[in-house]
Amino acid sequence: MSKKGTRYPGVRYHGDSLYYRVILADGKRVEIRFGRGTAKEAFLAREERQELENRIKAGLADPRQYGIEKHASRPVVELLNEYLDHMRAKGDSKRHIDNTAAFVREGIHICNVKRVLDLDAQRMNRWLSDLLLSARSKNARRTAILAFCRWAADYGRSPRNPIPSGLVPRFDENADRRRLSRSMTQQESRVLFEALLIPARVPRRRAAKRRRVFYVVAANTGLRWREIARLRWADLDLDMGVVIVPAGQTKNGKQAELPLVLQVVEALREIRPKDAAETDKVFSGEPRLKTWKRDLQRAGLIGPNEEGYHDERGRHLDRKCLRMSFCTWLKDAGVDLRDAQKLMRHSDPKLTSNVYTDIRLKDLRSAVEKIQPGEETKRLFQEQSTG
């Protein structure tokens, strides 16, 4: 490789690339590749690096600081790829990693971020506020970007956290609920379960049977669909009637130990293979939305064109409705709110009572009639109409 000097001291070409010479803090002389650019730019980089080495030698700077600053000057996309590798090493799910990658890439593209320290709270707030999305979707993007910023600071990719979490406030999800669910009545749930009891001669009977058990578990435990899909036979004690959801699979990161009613225990025993290992999954996955809608149609709960999927109040009979149904049935049975909160694993009882409990008009009417009995109310109405 041919070498050629420049007018700037300590800077020369090695072929087409520029290199500059630096005396390190330990006295060693090295040549550092600058890459493509002008000789003047390489000289300025040499002066900056030499000043840092002199400060390290004098004990005025931390030798690790150069490595952090070097990382901070790299393209932010490279750091994002390292962050995604970190998430994979932790064992995060592919879906979570893909969502995080999409949200962070969206943010750095819209905010024109080139380096990690270009991330700015003001621009991030403006971007999130202008999104025509629900508060929950905005919070998902906020969480992904703030987690990336914390990782960059904690793992030496940035000298500081570019966006402290306090500078980007959360959006109020309860005040901006775009998608409302409704609960099923117990009669509707029985109709759904019975519709999946398909005769042996019908194709895909086994898949329908397993989906029926999946729905039975969801409606009688309050477990989220993703938590059910990750269950292994080791998490179930069918003799004691208990399910233990590991901390790594729950939304709040805490282990959950929940009781199982007899209907759930019998349903799980029906689908357990004789040669099932403790590490085997109970279900191969969670039913997709179109499969759920098809099962509702098979049960006659919605029409062929999804008539009945939305009620007159705009609420959906979506996959969340089984968890909401469980909470509502607890309330109908007179279960104490504190016990319902524990079974639902909510941090705030308001979430249990205001969001996941479906208060129907008939419940409110029965509450009012406790003041004045229904027969008395009916007699008054009749007197007023005849009068």
CA torsion 267-271-272-275 (nearest 10°) is 160
Give percent of the chain above pLDDT 70: 85
| Closest by Cα among 10, 79, 7, 94 to 49 | 10
Angle between helices 289-298 and 205-221 (to 10 degrees): 100
Q: Give how far Cα 246 sits from Cα of 234, 236, 295, 301, Å.
A: 11, 11, 30, 34
CA torsion 37-43-44-49 (nearest 10°) is 110
Which amino acid belongs to residue 281? K
Judged against a pLDDT cut of 90, whether residue 216 lies above it is answered with yes
| Closest by Cα among 298, 138, 159 to 215 | 298
Judged against a pLDDT cut of 90, whether residue 197 lies above it is answered with no
Q: What is the pLDDT, as a whole number, of residue 81?
A: 92
Q: What is the pLDDT, as a whole number, of residue 24?
A: 84
**Given CA atoms 227, 230, 233, 234 in this order, what sign does their dihedral have?**
negative
Residue boundaries of the structural domains of the chain: 3-61, 76-167, 186-356
Judged against a pLDDT cut of 60, whether residue 251 lies above it is answered with yes
Three-state secondary structure string covering the chain: CCEEECCCCCEEEECCEEEEEEECCCCCEEEEEEECCCHHHHHHHHHHHHHHHHHHHCCCCCHHHHHHHHHHCCCHHHHHHHHHHHHHHHCCCHHHHHHHHHHHHHHHHHCCCCCHHHCCHHHHHHHHHHCCCCHHHHHHHHHHHHHHHHHHHHCCCCCCCCCCHHHCCCCCCCCCCCCCECCCCHHHHHHHHHHCCCCCCCCCHHHHHHHHHHHHHHHHHCCCHHHHHCCEHHHEECCCCEEEECHHHCCCCCCEEEECCHHHHHHHHHHCCCCCCCCCECCCCCCCHHHHHHHHHHCCCCCCCCCCCECCCCCECCCCHHHHHHHHHHHHCCCCHHHHHHHHCCCCHHHHHHHCCCCCHHHHHHHHCCCCCHHHHHHHHHHHHHC
| Closest by Cα among 65, 292, 269 to 184 | 292
Judged against a pLDDT cut of 90, whether residue 94 lies above it is answered with no
Residue 359 exposure: Cα atoms within 13 Å on the Cβ side: 8
Tell me if 317 sits within 8 A of 302, measured CB to CB: yes
Give me the mean pLDDT over the 21-44 stretch.
84
Judged against a pLDDT cut of 90, whether residue 200 lies above it is answered with no
Give the residue carrying structure tokens 């329908």: 208
The CATH class given to the 186-356 domain equals mainly alpha
Q: What is the mean pLDDT of the chain?
A: 83
pLDDT tens figures, 291-334: 999 999 999 988 888 888 877 777 788 888 898 888 888 888 88
Tell me if 191 sits within 8 A of 300, measured CB to CB: yes
Judged against a pLDDT cut of 60, whether residue 376 lies above it is answered with no
Domain 76-167 and domain 186-356 have a common topology? no
* Range 66-104 burial, b when 16+ CB lie within 10 A, else e: bebeebbeeebeebbeebbeebeeeeeeeeebeebbebb
**Dist CA 377 CA 381 (whole Å):** 6
* CATH number for the domain running over 76-167: 1.10.150.130
Q: What is the pLDDT, as a whole number, of residue 203?
A: 62
330 token code pair: 């607890």
Query: How far is the first Cα of the chain from the last one, in angstroms, to the nearest whole number?
Result: 111
Tell me if 149 sits within 8 A of 162, measured CB to CB: yes
Judged against a pLDDT cut of 50, whether residue 361 lies above it is answered with no
**Angle, vertex CA 367, rays to CA 364 and CA 369, nearest 5:** 110
Which amino acid belongs to residue 363? D
